[in-house]
Amino acid sequence: MKILVTVTEVADADDEFEISGTSIADQYLTYDLNEWDDYAIEEAVQISEEHDDIEVVTITFGAERVEETIRTALAKGADRAIRVWDDSFEGQTVLDPSQKARLLAGVVEEEDPDLVLSGVQSGDVSIGATGVALAEQVGYEWAAVVNQLDLDRDSGNAAIHRELEGGVEELTDVELPAVLTIQTGINEPRYASLRGIRQAQSKPLDVMSPEDIGVELEESAIELTELVEPESESNTELFEGSAEDTAGQLAEFLRERGVGA
């Protein structure tokens, strides 16, 4: 059995940043493994530890820089990795979920996994649609926002919980093959061990172009044309001064409101 995990990097902006064109200037950005994908990797690795003969393959769309993040996923227990990239994407943020899905679909069709785990969303752009779009493109079943997963290999079924709003979960059976988008909190992602990190260096990481996987992207109909730091709607009254000063002012305010009195 094969599980494919989509792994992406997200950009976190510094407290102070500048916008250049339609993105935040690179010097203000720090890149890290997408939080939701960390849980998806852990879920796949746990399944592979509980069952025999499960291969965990990660798939990433991204420039060479992303290999550091991919190695982290390998260090946490994935068996091998695939990175799809073409230099023509340099400097672009792909915001069209259908396009992103198409790039992943090429690999899914080649690898033919039984289960694809992706994150609910990428924490930076928060589109939240790639996994389900991918499922539709490759003709897999799917479920979005999964926070519990029990795999029954014999029946080819995943018994899952979907986390709805307001503390309610939906209990659902999903037939495989399927794409599940994984919610944070489903497990406790491990830290990579030193041994894992060493082993990750020798695990296969294949780089492919869209052509290699038979994908020809049409131009997207979606284009980011402007990016602004919104005018602050903030009416926050700030307490200013040292930590002691500000704490003193806040304490006075709270006492006036009858708190802690």
Ligand X SMILES: Cc1cc2nc3c(=O)[nH]c(=O)nc-3n(C[C@H](O)[C@H](O)[C@H](O)COP(=O)(O)OP(=O)(O)OC[C@H]3O[C@@H](n4cnc5c(N)ncnc54)[C@H](O)[C@@H]3O)c2cc1C
Region 107-136 residues binding ligand X, contact defined as CB under 6 A? 120-121
State both tokens at 202: 């020798």
Q: Which residues lie closer than 8 Å to 202 by C-beta, 6 or more apart?
A: none
Footprint (CB under 8 A) of other proteins, residues 95-124: 95-98, 101, 120, 123-124
Q: 136-163 in b/e burial notation, b at 16+ Cβ within 10 A?
A: ebbebebbbbbbbbebebeeeebebbbb
Least distance CB 63 / other proteins (angstroms): 18
- Torsion angle (degrees, nearest 10) of CA 22, 25, 28, 29: 60
Among 45, 116, 134, 145, contact with ligand X (rule: CB under 6 A): 145
Least separation in angstroms between CB 182 and ligand X? 11
Q: How many residues bind other proteins (CB under 8 A)?
A: 85
Between 184 and 199, name the residue whose CB sits nearer to other proteins: 184
Footprint (CB under 8 A) of other proteins, residues 134-163: 135-137, 141-145, 161-163
Element holding 51 (H helix, E strand): none
Q: Distance between CA 49 and CA 43 in Å, rounded?
A: 10
- Residue 162 touches which of other proteins, ligand X, none (CB < 5 to 8 A by kind)? other proteins
Question: By CB under 6 A, is residue 8 in contact with ligand X?
Answer: no
227: contact with other proteins by CB under 8 A: yes
CA dihedral 109, 78, 90, 26 (to 10 degrees): 150
Q: How far apart are CA 156 and CA 170, in angstroms?
A: 20
Site string for other proteins, 54-83 (x = CB under 8 A): ------------------------------
Site residues, ligand X (CB under 6 A): 120-121, 145
